[in-house]
Chains A and B, each alone.
Chain A
């Protein structure tokens, strides 16, 4: 269980995150949404202390994250971000192995684990000898996931992990991610500005604006009972697009082959 207690971050006089409190249950996927400058990424980075909070605290299973040094904390938390950041001077396998090397695993155990991780993210383990530069964007982010998951983290933090990918690749990776999450029972906090993505993958959505939480709820709750005009407005577009798509899909079933109609 992850507990954020009145997390605040100030740069100079400006607070970019103000007294954010949030509890994420074990195995739950919470998505932080909001426009740019809403403080969602800063909030995420305060959880693994890539950004140190000005005040407030984060508890993981009841233990404050400050009882260990930042780098020790981060070894137990998977981190995936939009720019991926695969080390270009290392092979794919060495990238995936990095957290294991840091954790002091033995060579044979590392090799086995790397192969296992590459398979988990639907990559052929023979890709391990290649340079990250030779991979497509989607393949690179799969490696990014494999690296983040290698050391069996209790918690995953994801900062717009699919933001730079084309829609088809993005969809495939979302599906893979959801499958892996179910398989491993991961607790995850996921930042995105894409409302459709949020609705598709979230157990609960947390809407932020100007460094504060406006509303937390399941996708259905936010769609049906927005507490705030901003929240309503945020979900207006996915709602409208969903109607258009639904009408198109429904209309396609009417005048065409009976088989297509039966399938819908």
Chain B
């Protein structure tokens, strides 16, 4: 728990910055837009309709869709910007709708009186309509505040640090201290900001200017704090190490970071829990500097190559050449183990059905259900399994990668798309089915580094090269087990590896 709390200032600062920036911009857009809508009658329906449609998009999807949109516009597509834009859009509707409702709800007698005493349209708005609509508008701002604090936890997968880092990595590594800290901090932040907005609005209404100064000052300080923190701690020479959304990736990111720090003296920043394609795009655009990917993933999903019966070293060579020539990405080397997609079943169930290979499975599949992580059924490996083996299970279920092991152990599904290095395969007594026709390509874990890192810190590349072949399948499985079964933190496990191997750190 102490280890988790140590991360709180960083996550909370990032979360606050994201939330407040999105809210301020959301306010700056939606209140004038709401006013405009009440002046130009035909705008109301289309504007509110668009805002409502945006609101119906699940918040995670809204943030996720910013990634390809920004990439298409050649803007920074991971990190702060996509999360910020998604949250701005998300905050618009409650404020916009309440602004329109509030202004429309002003008694026409007051508007007539305002015109009658000789106010200009602008004076009517500023002196009468907006003040009278203010309680309704503030209610909208408070709704938006609470929503935005909550939705900001979903910015972790698009690469923005937030309190969601606790929740996403905690869920993946079954570290429920982290999940709890993340939830509690997000809830407390929502309540605190909501309270501040309420006090601020109430004080303005009752003209208690001293309170306005205190509440407004606190909000401004909160908004400014992350910026100050960033300036004081941030050096221009940042190195960012990325990770995807599972245990092994968190451990390897720590190991990469430790090596880079040992040689360059720069402590790399972590960009955790990125989506599988987000992390590759981020490396390509130089937003992160290094991460670990798997040769087969690049081969199949980036290069769109046919993977049946391919040779392991040939894949590695071609992937390296392709990455260097097409994207300027450096394939440092292979770590020494494979983490392949592997179809796994409970041992007893496999014996009962007499299934040992994927070919066996294909024969029995019409009565079986298969569970996969979110991306599995959309990946070329699944397509290959379908076409090579004619695999047609009775049902397919997508679920969180960390939950599918439990699902197969509990008999909720018959087969899952396990990762071959996952410690839970042994822990839950699962058997991996033999890919007898070689449909799934080899998945050597490979260290990828950005061209920027290679140019500016060749010593960092050297440091990473020391990891070549340093981790075999058993070592990786053991480390995964330490996190998934024994609930150690990925950082601790990574640091222990570094200490044992290189004598790094304490």
User: CB within 8 Å of B: which residues of A?
Assistant: 48, 50, 69, 71-76, 79, 81, 83-89, 98-99, 102, 147-148
Question: What chain A residues lie within 8 Å of B128 (beta carbons)?
Answer: 87
Compute how far the CA of A218 lies from the CA of B120 in the bound complex, rounded to whole angstroms.
Answer: 38
Compute how far the CA of A88 lies from the CA of B131 in the bound complex, rounded to whole angstroms.
Answer: 10
Q: Please determine whether B109 and A50 come into contact, CB atoms closer than 8 angstroms.
A: no
Q: Please determine whether A75 and B116 come into contact, CB atoms closer than 8 angstroms.
A: no
**A–B pairs, 23, beta carbons within 8 Å:** A50-B112, A50-B115, A72-B118, A73-B118, A74-B115, A74-B116, A74-B117, A79-B116, A79-B117, A81-B109, A81-B112, A83-B113, A85-B107, A87-B113, A87-B114, A87-B128, A87-B132, A88-B110, A89-B132, A89-B205, A102-B118, A147-B117, A148-B117
Cβ-based interface call for B119 (8 A): yes
Cβ-based interface call for B123 (8 A): yes
Question: What chain B residues lie within 8 Å of A83 (beta carbons)?
Answer: 107, 109, 112-113
Query: Would you give the 0/1 interface string for B99-132, flagging 1 where the beta carbon is closer than 8 Å to chain A?
Result: 0000000010110111111111001000110011
Question: What chain B residues lie within 8 Å of A72 (beta carbons)?
Answer: 118
Quote the shortest CB–CB distance from A36 to chain B (angstroms): 18
Q: Please determine whether B117 and A99 come into contact, CB atoms closer than 8 angstroms.
A: yes
Q: Please determine whether B109 and A98 come into contact, CB atoms closer than 8 angstroms.
A: no
Q: Please determine whether B118 and A99 come into contact, CB atoms closer than 8 angstroms.
A: yes
Compute how far the CA of A159 lies from the CA of B82 in the bound complex, rounded to whole angstroms.
Answer: 57
Residue of A nearest to B205 (CB): A89
Compute how far the CA of A79 lies from the CA of B115 in the bound complex, rounded to whole angstroms.
Answer: 10
Residue of A nearest to B134 (CB): A89
Q: Please determine whether B118 and A75 come into contact, CB atoms closer than 8 angstroms.
A: yes
CB within 8 Å of A: which B174-198 residues: none
Q: Please determine whether B112 and A85 come into contact, CB atoms closer than 8 angstroms.
A: yes
Compute how far the CA of A69 lies from the CA of B117 in the bound complex, rounded to whole angstroms.
Answer: 13
Q: Please determine whether A102 and B116 come into contact, CB atoms closer than 8 angstroms.
A: no
Known: A88-B132, A89-B131. A50 touches B116 (CB 8 A): yes
Question: What chain A residues lie within 8 Å of B113 (beta carbons)?
Answer: 81, 83-87
Residue of B nearest to A79 (CB): B116
Question: What chain B residues lie within 8 Å of A102 (beta carbons)?
Answer: 117-119, 123
CB within 8 Å of A: which B24-67 residues: none
Q: Please determine whether A75 and B117 come into contact, CB atoms closer than 8 angstroms.
A: yes
Q: Please determine whether A71 and B119 come into contact, CB atoms closer than 8 angstroms.
A: yes
Compute how far the CA of A75 lies from the CA of B116 in the bound complex, rounded to whole angstroms.
Answer: 8
Q: Please determine whether B120 and A71 come into contact, CB atoms closer than 8 angstroms.
A: yes
Question: What chain B residues lie within 8 Å of A85 (beta carbons)?
Answer: 107, 109-110, 112-114, 116
Question: What chain A residues lie within 8 Å of B115 (beta carbons)?
Answer: 50, 71, 74
Question: What chain B residues lie within 8 Å of A50 (beta carbons)?
Answer: 112, 115-116
Residue of A nearest to B112 (CB): A85
Question: What chain B residues lie within 8 Å of A79 (beta carbons)?
Answer: 116-117
Compute how far the CA of A129 lies from the CA of B124 in the bound complex, rounded to whole angstroms.
Answer: 22
Compute how far the CA of A81 lies from the CA of B112 in the bound complex, rounded to whole angstroms.
Answer: 9
Compute how far the CA of A54 lies from the CA of B338 in the bound complex, rounded to whole angstroms.
Answer: 84
Known: A89-B132, A102-B123. A84 touches B117 (CB 8 A): no
Quote the shortest CB–CB distance from A230 to chain B (angstroms): 30
Ranked nearest first, the 6 interchain pairs of A and B with the lowest CB-CB distance are A85-B113, A75-B118, A79-B116, A83-B109, A74-B118, A85-B109
Task: Give 17 A-B pairs besides A71-B123, A98-B127, A102-B123 with Cβ atoms closer than 8 angstroms.
Answer: A48-B116, A50-B112, A69-B120, A73-B118, A74-B115, A75-B117, A79-B117, A85-B107, A85-B109, A85-B113, A86-B113, A87-B128, A87-B132, A98-B117, A99-B117, A102-B118, A148-B117
Compute how far the CA of A98 lies from the CA of B123 in the bound complex, rounded to whole angstroms.
Answer: 11
Question: What chain A residues lie within 8 Å of B118 (beta carbons)?
Answer: 71-76, 99, 102
Compute how far the CA of A69 lies from the CA of B131 in the bound complex, rounded to whole angstroms.
Answer: 25
Question: What chain A residues lie within 8 Å of B116 (beta carbons)?
Answer: 48, 50, 74, 79, 81, 85, 148
Quote the shortest CB–CB distance from B137 to chain A (angstroms): 13
Compute how far the CA of A81 lies from the CA of B107 in the bound complex, rounded to whole angstroms.
Answer: 14
Compute how far the CA of A102 lies from the CA of B230 in the bound complex, rounded to whole angstroms.
Answer: 47
Residue of A nearest to B118 (CB): A75
Compute how far the CA of A89 lies from the CA of B129 in the bound complex, rounded to whole angstroms.
Answer: 10
Compute how far the CA of A157 lies from the CA of B116 in the bound complex, rounded to whole angstroms.
Answer: 10
Quote the shortest CB–CB distance from B168 to chain A (angstroms): 46
Residue of A nearest to B115 (CB): A50
Query: Would you give the 0/1 interface string for B362-405, flagging 1 where the beta carbon is closer than 8 Å to chain A?
Result: 00000000000000000000000000000000000000000000
Quote the shortest CB–CB distance from B206 to chain A (angstroms): 11
Question: What chain A residues lie within 8 Å of B119 (beta carbons)?
Answer: 71, 102
Residue of B nearest to A83 (CB): B109
Compute how far the CA of A76 lies from the CA of B107 in the bound complex, rounded to whole angstroms.
Answer: 24
Residue of B nearest to A144 (CB): B113
Residue of B nearest to A89 (CB): B131
Question: What chain A residues lie within 8 Å of B120 (beta carbons)?
Answer: 69, 71
